[in-house]
Structure 1
Amino acid sequence: MATFFLIIIYLAFISLGLPDSLLGAAWPVMQVDFGAPLETAGLLSMTIAAGTIVSSLLSGTVLQRFGTGKVTLVSCVMTAGALLGFSLSPSLLWLMLCAIPLGLGAGSVDAGLNNYVAAHYKAHHMSWLHCFWGVGATLGPMIMAQYISGQNAWRQGYLTVAGIQILLVIILFFTLPLWDRVAKISKAASAQADGDIAIGAEDAASKPIKPLHIKGVKFALLSFLFYSGVEATVGLWGSSFLVNSKELPASTAAQWVSLFYAGITIGRFITGFITFKLSNLTLIRSGQVTALAGAALLFLPLPTEFSLAGLMIVGLGLAPIFPCMLHETPERFGKKHAQTIMGYQMAVAYTGSTFMPPFLGLLASFATIGIFPYFIGLSAVAMLLFSERLNVFLGRGKRGERLTVF
């Protein structure tokens, strides 16, 4: 039953990735239809991101009250309705309104599914889960491309993805009882060995501990901020760097940036197998060092081929970091607080991916896009330093002392 249910969660993550890349693929055609300025896509994207950040921050409370199954179902209903609204929107105002539930739905389901898998499944499933998100993010533009090539029918593209989401809603509705059943089986199997770290810590302190006051949480959040900042910044500005600084044709640059994403997706698939032999900590550290090595190839005065290889190496390095850090959350901070902290981590990750790429764009407007590799390198160094600082905290004393309050 647990394996069958895991397949449903994988399908949910494919559907979670599908809308993420639709707007960028469809906007050149949508912009003409609405007669909108180019930067309107940025406003839509930030509206979606804002909704995602808010729902991620609130996900701990919402998930504790209603459960992961119900929240996932309602969130998918919201995203399906929002995508349907996109396909029918008569104006930019309606697009903006539909962007709100699209973001709100994505944040809760993302945090909820990540916490559910971290709590009830092994590390390799978390890596494969995010690999399936990559499958969805890759399929989205492919579906849209089929409709906008020749016909410019971007509305049908959104309608098709909305239909896929509605199909998932139906599946989730009929499998709703399985969420609690699988969770109870998993909890009963691990209760004796695991215990709950947080409860012991609260008893020792004689007062409840707020999740943000748990030692090390802030370093974990900063690690997520810089991870997502590196990934999103490379995705947004990598092509511009190759065209303007390395003088590559735009088509060639776009192909190499797509290989950066392919490196992340393939790397996560491979990481799922490596987790049988190596710990999450080892994979996180190895990935960060690899990403830093790839960033070094970008700013060293080497031939263009080394910069192209650097992008792929950064992608391969990033592959294990995000899923392994998520899977470590219950082990690091205790299952009692893991759900809330998972929501904080997702919110901070979305914050990094929303604001760090525009920040580089602002810096580049005062200098040149040539600062891109230095920005990536410094962000990768910051990610590594905060992650290692977290490891120092978690490595001190006995396991129960990990939750010492600041």
Structure 2
Amino acid sequence: MATFFLVIIYLAFISLGLPDSLLGVAWPVMQLEFKAPLETAGYLFMTIAGGTIISSLASGTILKRFGTGKVTFVSCLMTAGALLGFAFAPSFVWLIICAIPLGLGAGSVDAGLNNYVATHYKAHHMSWLHCFWGVGATISPIIMAQSISEQNSWRQGYFVIAGIQFALVVILFFTLPLWNKVAKNNNSIASEKSEESKSALYNNTKPLQIRGVKLALVSFLFYCGVEATMGLWGSSFLVNVKDLPVASAAKWVSFYFGGITIGRFFAGFITLKVSNRTIIRVGQITALAGAGLLLLPLPSSFSLVGFIMIGLGLAPIFPSMLHETPTRFGKEHSQTIMGYQMAVAYTGTTFIPPLLGFGASHLSIGIFPFFLVLFAAAMLLGSEKLNVLLNKEQKVEY
């Protein structure tokens, strides 16, 4: 039963990735239909991200009250309805309105599923979980591209994705009783002596007052800064600095995303033998080395190596840091802290790439690798300081 239930969670994470890459693919056609300026896509993105940040921050309270299963069901229902709203939106204003539940639905289910897997399953499942998010984020542009090319309709693409989401909503509805049952089974099997003592120590402590939480948040902020900055500005760097054709630059950026997805798949096997802490450290050093490679005045082919190194390095970091949350800070507050981490992660994704864009508009896109090195170094520094703190307090056993 636990295996079947894990498949349901994987399907939920595929659905979580489905909407994430739709807007960028569909916007060139949507823009023409709504006669909207190019930059208005940014308003939609910010609305979705704002809703996600808010629901992530509130997820601890919401999930404790209603449970992960119910919140996942309602959140997926909200995102399915929002996507359907996109498909029938008569104006740009309606897109903004539909973007609100799309963002709110994503935040709670993201934090809830991450904490559920971190609490009840081993580390390799967390890596594979985020690999399946990549599957969803890869499938949706294919569906949208086919809808646009065959029927010249971006609305049909949103309609199909909404249909997939509603199908998942039905599955989640009929599996609601399994959530508590599987959680109880896992808890009865697992040994929780050290966890109980940790929860007792933290029982009267507010989550943000627990030592090390803020350092963990720093790591999440700069991780997402590196990941999103690579995705948004990598192609511009290759075209304007390395003089690559646009098509070649796009292909190289796809290798970066491929490195993340494939890296997470293989990281799941590596976690069977290697601790999360070691995987995080190696990944951060690899990403930093890849960013450093982009700084050097080498032939453009070395930039491809740098992009792949950054992708492979980033691959295991995010899921491994999420899986460490209950171990680092105790199950008593892990759900709330998970929500904080997701909120900070979305904050980094939303605001750090535009910061580089602002700097590049006044200087040059040539600052791209310097920013990457700075963000990757800050991520590594925050993570290592957290390790030192946890070692001193002997809260984590490796």
1:315 aligns with 2:322: no
Q: For 2:259, which of 233, 246, 263 is the aligned residue?
A: 263
Q: Is the 8 A contact 1:201 1:400 kept in 2?
A: no
Seen in structure 2, the aligned counterparts of structure 1 residues 150 and 166 have a Cα distance that, compared at 3 Å, is closer
Seen in structure 2, the aligned counterparts of structure 1 residues 72 and 190 have a Cα distance that, compared at 3 Å, is same
Distance in 2 (CA, whole Å) between partners of 1:195 and 1:378 is: 36
Match of 1:20 in 2: 20
Q: Is the 8 A contact 1:118 1:328 kept in 2?
A: yes
Distance in 1 (CA, whole Å) between partners of 2:233 and 2:3 is: 39
Match of 1:217 in 2: 213
Distance in 2 (CA, whole Å) between partners of 1:77 and 1:386 is: 37
Residue type of the partner of 2:93? L
Match of 1:195 in 2: 195
Match of 2:245 in 1: 249
| Residues 4-403 of structure 1 aligned to structure 2 (within 5 Å) | 4-202=4-202, 208-399=204-395
Secondary structure of the structure 2 residue equivalent to 1:84: helix
Residue type of the partner of 2:320? C
Q: Give aligned-pair identity as a percent.
A: 71
Seen in structure 2, the aligned counterparts of structure 1 residues 236 and 345 have a Cα distance that, compared at 3 Å, is same
Distance in 2 (CA, whole Å) between partners of 1:365 and 1:281 is: 38
Q: Is the 8 A contact 1:260 1:315 kept in 2?
A: yes
Q: Is the 8 A contact 1:198 1:337 kept in 2?
A: no
Residue type of the partner of 2:38? L
Residue type of the partner of 1:259? F
Residue type of the partner of 2:84? L
Deviations 1:209-242 (A, max 9, x none): 0000000000000000000010000000000000
Distance in 1 (CA, whole Å) between partners of 2:262 and 2:167 is: 27
Distance in 1 (CA, whole Å) between partners of 2:34 and 2:393 is: 61
Return the offset for 1:150.
4.7
Return the offset for 1:308.
1.4
Distance in 2 (CA, whole Å) between partners of 1:230 and 1:356 is: 8
Residue type of the partner of 1:116? Y
Distance in 1 (CA, whole Å) between partners of 2:201 and 2:39 is: 49
Secondary structure of the structure 1 residue equivalent to 2:298: coil
Question: If the length of structure 1 is used for normalisation, what is the TM-score?
Answer: 0.96
Return the offset for 1:190.
1.9
Q: Is the 8 A contact 1:267 1:320 kept in 2?
A: yes
Distance in 2 (CA, whole Å) between partners of 1:124 and 1:258 is: 24
Return the offset for 1:3.
0.4
Distance in 2 (CA, whole Å) between partners of 1:167 and 1:400 is: 41
Secondary structure of the structure 2 residue equivalent to 1:195: helix
Residue type of the partner of 1:346? M
Q: Is the 8 A contact 1:13 1:133 kept in 2?
A: yes
Return the offset for 1:400.
8.4
Return the offset for 1:172.
0.2
Distance in 2 (CA, whole Å) between partners of 1:250 and 1:236 is: 14
Structure 2: 5+ residue stretches without partners:
none
Distance in 1 (CA, whole Å) between partners of 2:217 and 2:394 is: 23
Secondary structure of the structure 2 residue equivalent to 1:301: coil
Question: Which moved further from structure 2: 217-226 or 183-192?
Answer: 183-192
Secondary structure of the structure 1 residue equivalent to 2:392: coil
Residue type of the partner of 1:248? L
Match of 1:404 in 2: none
1:2 aligns with 2:2: yes
Distance in 2 (CA, whole Å) between partners of 1:153 and 1:192 is: 53
Distance in 2 (CA, whole Å) between partners of 1:400 and 1:48 is: 36
Aligned length: 397
Deviations 1:44-83 (A, max 9, x none): 0010000000000000000000000000000000000000
Residue type of the partner of 1:21? S
Question: If the length of structure 2 is used for normalisation, what is the TM-score?
Answer: 0.98
Distance in 1 (CA, whole Å) between partners of 2:40 and 2:114 is: 31
Seen in structure 2, the aligned counterparts of structure 1 residues 43 and 192 have a Cα distance that, compared at 3 Å, is closer
Seen in structure 2, the aligned counterparts of structure 1 residues 400 and 250 have a Cα distance that, compared at 3 Å, is closer
Q: Is the 8 A contact 2:328 2:396 kept in 1?
A: no
Seen in structure 2, the aligned counterparts of structure 1 residues 83 and 197 have a Cα distance that, compared at 3 Å, is farther
Deviations 1:276-304 (A, max 9, x none): 11000000000000000100111111111
Distance in 2 (CA, whole Å) between partners of 1:254 and 1:400 is: 42
Return the offset for 1:339.
0.3
Q: Is the 8 A contact 1:197 1:333 kept in 2?
A: no
Structure 1: 5+ residue stretches without partners:
402-406
Distance in 1 (CA, whole Å) between partners of 2:110 and 2:310 is: 24
Q: Is the 8 A contact 1:200 1:400 kept in 2?
A: no
Return the offset for 1:397.
3.5
